[in-house]
Amino acid sequence: MKRLGHLNRDIARILARMGHTDSLVIADCGLPLPVQIECIDVSLALGDPGFGHVLQTVLADLKVERAVLAEEAREHNCAIVQHASSLAGRGIRVDYVSHQELKRLTHSARAVIRTGEATPYANVILYSGVIFDAPEGARPCK
Protein backbone atom coordinates (compact mmCIF):
# COMPACT_ATOMS: atom_id res chain seq x y z
CA MET A 1 0.00 0.00 0.00
CA LYS A 2 1.24 3.49 -0.90
CA ARG A 3 2.63 5.33 2.13
CA LEU A 4 3.53 8.81 0.93
CA GLY A 5 2.06 11.36 -1.41
CA HIS A 6 -1.47 11.21 -2.75
CA LEU A 7 -3.51 8.20 -1.73
CA ASN A 8 -6.26 8.97 -4.24
CA ARG A 9 -5.25 6.63 -7.06
CA ASP A 10 -6.60 8.86 -9.84
CA ILE A 11 -4.78 11.95 -8.57
CA ALA A 12 -1.57 9.95 -8.02
CA ARG A 13 -1.82 8.60 -11.59
CA ILE A 14 -2.28 12.08 -13.09
CA LEU A 15 0.57 13.57 -11.04
CA ALA A 16 2.88 10.73 -12.11
CA ARG A 17 2.10 11.45 -15.77
CA MET A 18 2.69 15.21 -15.56
CA GLY A 19 5.56 16.52 -17.66
CA HIS A 20 7.16 19.94 -17.74
CA THR A 21 4.52 22.65 -18.42
CA ASP A 22 1.59 20.20 -18.36
CA SER A 23 -1.36 21.71 -16.52
CA LEU A 24 -3.75 20.51 -13.84
CA VAL A 25 -6.84 22.36 -12.65
CA ILE A 26 -8.07 22.46 -9.07
CA ALA A 27 -11.65 23.67 -9.29
CA ASP A 28 -14.54 24.68 -7.08
CA CYS A 29 -17.76 22.72 -7.42
CA GLY A 30 -19.26 25.25 -9.85
CA LEU A 31 -16.61 25.57 -12.57
CA PRO A 32 -17.93 24.34 -15.94
CA LEU A 33 -15.71 21.47 -16.98
CA PRO A 34 -14.62 20.60 -20.51
CA VAL A 35 -16.25 17.33 -21.56
CA GLN A 36 -13.03 15.92 -23.04
CA ILE A 37 -10.90 16.50 -19.91
CA GLU A 38 -10.78 13.90 -17.14
CA CYS A 39 -12.53 15.05 -13.98
CA ILE A 40 -11.44 13.61 -10.65
CA ASP A 41 -14.33 14.53 -8.38
CA VAL A 42 -13.30 14.52 -4.72
CA SER A 43 -16.29 16.56 -3.51
CA LEU A 44 -18.20 15.11 -0.57
CA ALA A 45 -20.47 18.00 0.42
CA LEU A 46 -20.62 21.75 -0.06
CA GLY A 47 -17.25 23.02 1.15
CA ASP A 48 -15.77 19.55 1.69
CA PRO A 49 -13.02 19.14 0.83
CA GLY A 50 -12.09 22.77 0.54
CA PHE A 51 -9.93 24.29 -2.17
CA GLY A 52 -7.00 25.03 0.17
CA HIS A 53 -6.76 21.50 1.52
CA VAL A 54 -6.72 19.95 -1.95
CA LEU A 55 -4.22 22.55 -3.18
CA GLN A 56 -1.82 21.79 -0.31
CA THR A 57 -1.94 18.03 -0.91
CA VAL A 58 -1.23 18.49 -4.62
CA LEU A 59 1.64 20.93 -3.94
CA ALA A 60 3.20 18.38 -1.58
CA ASP A 61 3.36 15.89 -4.45
CA LEU A 62 3.90 18.02 -7.59
CA LYS A 63 6.63 20.47 -8.58
CA VAL A 64 4.78 23.58 -9.79
CA GLU A 65 6.42 26.46 -11.64
CA ARG A 66 3.38 28.56 -12.49
CA ALA A 67 -0.18 29.10 -11.31
CA VAL A 68 -3.02 30.90 -13.09
CA LEU A 69 -6.03 32.29 -11.23
CA ALA A 70 -9.04 34.41 -12.17
CA GLU A 71 -8.52 38.15 -11.90
CA GLU A 72 -12.00 38.39 -10.38
CA ALA A 73 -10.78 36.48 -7.30
CA ARG A 74 -8.82 39.58 -6.25
CA GLU A 75 -12.10 41.40 -5.62
CA HIS A 76 -14.42 38.55 -4.65
CA ASN A 77 -12.38 35.92 -2.76
CA CYS A 78 -9.70 37.03 -0.29
CA ALA A 79 -8.89 33.42 0.70
CA ILE A 80 -7.88 32.61 -2.88
CA VAL A 81 -5.67 35.71 -2.98
CA GLN A 82 -3.99 34.44 0.22
CA HIS A 83 -3.38 31.07 -1.45
CA ALA A 84 -1.87 32.92 -4.42
CA SER A 85 0.46 34.79 -2.04
CA SER A 86 1.49 31.49 -0.52
CA LEU A 87 2.27 30.11 -3.99
CA ALA A 88 4.39 33.16 -4.80
CA GLY A 89 6.19 32.71 -1.49
CA ARG A 90 7.18 29.22 -2.65
CA GLY A 91 8.77 30.68 -5.79
CA ILE A 92 5.83 29.81 -8.03
CA ARG A 93 5.00 32.40 -10.68
CA VAL A 94 1.41 33.57 -10.22
CA ASP A 95 -0.55 35.05 -13.12
CA TYR A 96 -4.09 36.39 -13.19
CA VAL A 97 -6.36 36.21 -16.23
CA SER A 98 -10.06 36.88 -16.71
CA HIS A 99 -12.39 34.12 -15.52
CA GLN A 100 -13.41 33.60 -19.16
CA GLU A 101 -9.77 33.08 -20.15
CA LEU A 102 -9.21 30.71 -17.21
CA LYS A 103 -12.17 28.61 -18.38
CA ARG A 104 -10.70 28.54 -21.90
CA LEU A 105 -7.30 27.42 -20.54
CA THR A 106 -8.89 24.48 -18.72
CA HIS A 107 -9.45 22.83 -22.11
CA SER A 108 -5.74 21.98 -22.40
CA ALA A 109 -5.34 20.55 -18.88
CA ARG A 110 -4.40 16.93 -18.19
CA ALA A 111 -7.22 16.73 -15.66
CA VAL A 112 -9.48 18.69 -13.34
CA ILE A 113 -9.71 17.94 -9.63
CA ARG A 114 -13.20 19.06 -8.58
CA THR A 115 -13.39 19.99 -4.91
CA GLY A 116 -16.40 20.73 -2.74
CA GLU A 117 -15.37 24.39 -2.51
CA ALA A 118 -18.39 26.68 -2.78
CA THR A 119 -16.86 30.17 -2.88
CA PRO A 120 -16.51 32.31 -6.02
CA TYR A 121 -13.47 32.01 -8.30
CA ALA A 122 -11.82 29.26 -6.23
CA ASN A 123 -10.00 27.76 -9.19
CA VAL A 124 -6.35 27.48 -10.16
CA ILE A 125 -4.45 26.05 -13.08
CA LEU A 126 -1.10 24.62 -11.98
CA TYR A 127 1.71 24.19 -14.50
CA SER A 128 4.23 21.47 -13.75
CA GLY A 129 7.89 22.31 -13.27
CA VAL A 130 10.93 20.02 -13.39
CA ILE A 131 12.38 18.25 -10.36
CA PHE A 132 16.02 18.49 -11.37
CA ASP A 133 18.56 21.25 -11.84
CA ALA A 134 21.64 21.43 -14.05
CA PRO A 135 24.43 19.35 -12.50
CA GLU A 136 27.15 21.21 -10.58
CA GLY A 137 29.80 22.43 -13.01
CA ALA A 138 27.64 21.82 -16.10
CA ARG A 139 28.57 24.04 -19.02
CA PRO A 140 26.71 24.85 -22.21
CA CYS A 141 27.66 22.79 -25.27
CA LYS A 142 29.83 24.55 -27.84
- Residue range 60-83, pLDDT digits in tens: 999 999 999 999 999 999 999 999
- Residue range 82-113, pLDDT digits in tens: 999 999 999 999 999 999 999 999 999 999 99
Q: Model confidence at 15, in pLDDT bands (50, 70, 90)?
A: very high
DSSP string for 97-133: E-HHHHHHHGGG-SEEEE----STT--EEEEE--S--
Collapse the DSSP code of 38 into the 3-class scheme (helix H, G, I; strand E, B; otherwise coil) and give the result: strand
118/19 Cα distance (integer angstroms)? 30
Is 76 in the active site?
no
Q: Model confidence at 140, in pLDDT bands (50, 70, 90)?
A: confident
Q: pTM higher than 0.85, yes or no?
A: yes
Query: Out of 6, 20, 76, 107, which one is annotated catalytic?
Result: 20
Whether the CA torsion 129, 130, 134, 140 is positive or negative: it is negative
Q: Domain ranges for the chain, please list them.
A: 21-127
> Would you identify the CATH topology of the domain 21-127?
RbsD-like fold (3.40.1650)
